[in-house]
Amino acid sequence: MQQHTEGHRPHPRRLVLATRNAYKITELRSILGEVGLDAELVGADAYPEVPDVKETGVTFAENALLKAHALAQATGHPAIADDSGLCVDVLGGAPGIFSARWSGRHGDDRANLELLLAQISDVPDEHRGAHFACAAALVLPDGTERVVSGRLTGTLRHEPVGGGGFGYDPILQPYGETRTCAELDPEEKNAISHRGKAFRAIAPIVRELLG
């Protein structure tokens, strides 16, 4: 595929984030700023001609790498991608990479959440451990790659609580908290979230590799 670098003003630190989620872009901009990286960060929307990548990996890391490699190759710029999901202890780590389509319909948060709660409805509190996992990948146009991970561990409520967040946030109560992720302020959630931890772990690597 032709590299889409012509027409853009030179910027040695343009980074492309493999998402069309404005919230993720804002979050990563903030984290990269914390480590002093002056990066021009754009989302996949800046390259509408580049198609979304099918997540055919069997781990969060594989899916993140698939997306980052595809975007770095297509744009000629370093790319960051992440993949995340909920891993429930008594389900052997499921839904895992299938979190967004657990009910069979991709992105139907309510259906996914209701199905999961039904599957563990008879599981007692002491066995309702779970964690959010996130893998973040950085890929350079020359194929150099790095992957880091983040985790937020807690326990699952029996009913959804809270109106914030998305996905399974209303049922995961982080350890040490009395509230679910959906009850936390965005700043509170970012400070402890799996994605926040992964992005913070990859930020110094971005700085190291890009100078």
Active site residue ranges: 83
52 is in an annotated binding site: no
What values do phi and psi take at 16, rounded to 5? -110, 125
* Tokens 């992957």 -> residue: 147
DSSP 104: S
**CB burial class (10 A; 0-12, 13-18, 19+) of residue 72?**
buried
Q: Is 189 annotated as a binding residue?
A: yes
Contact 113, 95 (CB under 8 A): no
- Is 135 marked as a binding-site residue? no
Task: Kindly list the distances between the CA atom of residue 29 and the CA atoms of 19, 68, 79, 119, 200, in Å, as whole numbers in the listed order.
Answer: 13, 17, 13, 38, 11
67 is in an annotated binding site: no
Enter the tokens of residue 14. Answer: 């343009």
Residue 132, marked binder: no
Q: Was 85 annotated as part of a binding site?
A: no
**167 annotated ligand binder:** yes
Q: Is 82 annotated as a binding residue?
A: no
In 3D space, the residue among 182, 150, 155, 178 whose CA is nearest the CA of residue 166 turns out to be 182
103 marked as part of a ligand binding site: no
Residues annotated as binding site for Mg(2+)?
83
Residues annotated as binding site for substrate?
19-24, 84, 166-169, 189, 194-195
Residues annotated as binding site?
19-24, 83-84, 166-169, 189, 194-195
